[in-house]
Amino acid sequence: MQTSLIILKPDAIQRGLAGQILQRFERKGLRIAAAKLMLVPREQAEKHYAEHHGKPFYDGLINFVTSSPVMVLAIQGLEAITVCRTLIGATNGRKADPGTIRGDFGMSGGFNLVHGSDSEASAERELALWFTDNELTDTPRTIEQWVYDPSDL
């Protein structure tokens, strides 16, 4: 099992899409291991997006993610990082495939609703920025016997 960090960004929260977006992950069979609604401190946003420091969009990104509450999630499942990124879709909502979160709900490249970890290394670093170990749960759900074929595990 992998755990991916997912952030429902300010535009998702302000547009009232949190429930619909969360439902997409759950309906796929992924497990919510942790969740919290919060205002992001600027320092935390800068740490999270440190790899983009110096890029033309960096200041706007930091201002955007700190402008309004976000919902931060730890989502678990087999190949969760790849599965989540597939569900999220291409960065620009106008170019994202229909059926993806951004393809169905997005019209912008900058206001793109959701952040998802892009690798195991990123997920590990990002999860540590947003959650303490005791905030992450690892409790299997009874439905998982119907999500994964035993040969998948």
Dist CA 100 CA 93 (whole Å): 9
From the candidates 48, 52, 53, 115, give the one annotated as an active-site residue.
Answer: 115
Which two tokens mark 84?
A: 């989540």
Determine contact, residues 4/80, Cβ cutoff 8 Å.
Answer: yes
- The 10 Å CB-count burial string (b at 16+, else e) for 106-136 is beeeeebbbbbbeeeeebebbbeebbeeeee
Note if 53 is an active site residue: no
Active site residues: 115
